[in-house]
């Protein structure tokens, strides 16, 4: 792991946004379907907000600045998906105002990526 990236990730763990803190309170300690999530983890050239390595699932909390970063976010998502990850992105405002709905999507996606038979796919 790149030392600078790892050091930056450690600092980011102590400076969470309110939306990241809300998500982390629901994901930590295997609270969601027993899946182990980690936060602010370097993966390749990126630091992801949350990752469950067992399910190859990444969750990103996007603030208002991400509307201006769409091309960069698309490139980042494409790279992570090429590494075998499923990437979910949620706007911070949705995380804060619709937490239960966001958690439901994450839970369904966890089930889908860990049980990829036809009957369990969302849609």
Q: What is the pLDDT of residues 16-26, one digit of tens each?
A: 899 999 999 99
If you average pLDDT over residues 32-59, what whole number do you get? 96
pLDDT higher than threshold 80 for residue 112:
yes
Select from 93, 92, 86, 84 the least CA-distant residue to 108. 86
Give me the chain's average pLDDT, please: 86
Q: Which domains does the chain have, with CATH numbers?
A: 3-120 (3.40.960.10)
Instruction: Tell me how far CA of residue 47 lies from CA of 8, 40, 59, 66, in angstroms.
Output: 9, 6, 11, 15
pLDDT above 90 covers what percent of the chain? 68
Neighbouring-strand partners of residue 106 = none
The C-alpha atoms of residue 49 and residue 46 are separated, in whole angstroms, by 10
| pLDDT value at residue 122 | 56
Tokens of 58: 């990444």
pLDDT in tens, 65-96: 645 567 888 999 999 999 999 999 999 999 99
The C-alpha atoms of residue 93 and residue 67 are separated, in whole angstroms, by 13
């Amino acid at each position: 792991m790149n030392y600078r990236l790892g050091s930056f990730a450690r600092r980011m763990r102590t400076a969470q946004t309110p939306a990241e803190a809300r998500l982390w309170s629901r994901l930590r300690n295997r609270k969601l379907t027993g899946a182990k999530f980690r936060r602010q983890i370097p993966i390749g050239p990126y630091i992801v907000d949350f990752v469950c390595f067992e399910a190859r699932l990444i969750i990103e909390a996007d603030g208002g600045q991400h509307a201006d970063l769409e091309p960069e976010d698309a490139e980042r998502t494409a790279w992570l998906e090429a590494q075998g990850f499923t990437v979910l992105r949620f706007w911070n405002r949705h995380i804060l105002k619709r937490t239960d709905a966001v958690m439901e999507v994450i839970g369904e996606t966890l089930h889908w990526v860990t049980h990829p038979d036809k009957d369990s796919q969302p849609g």
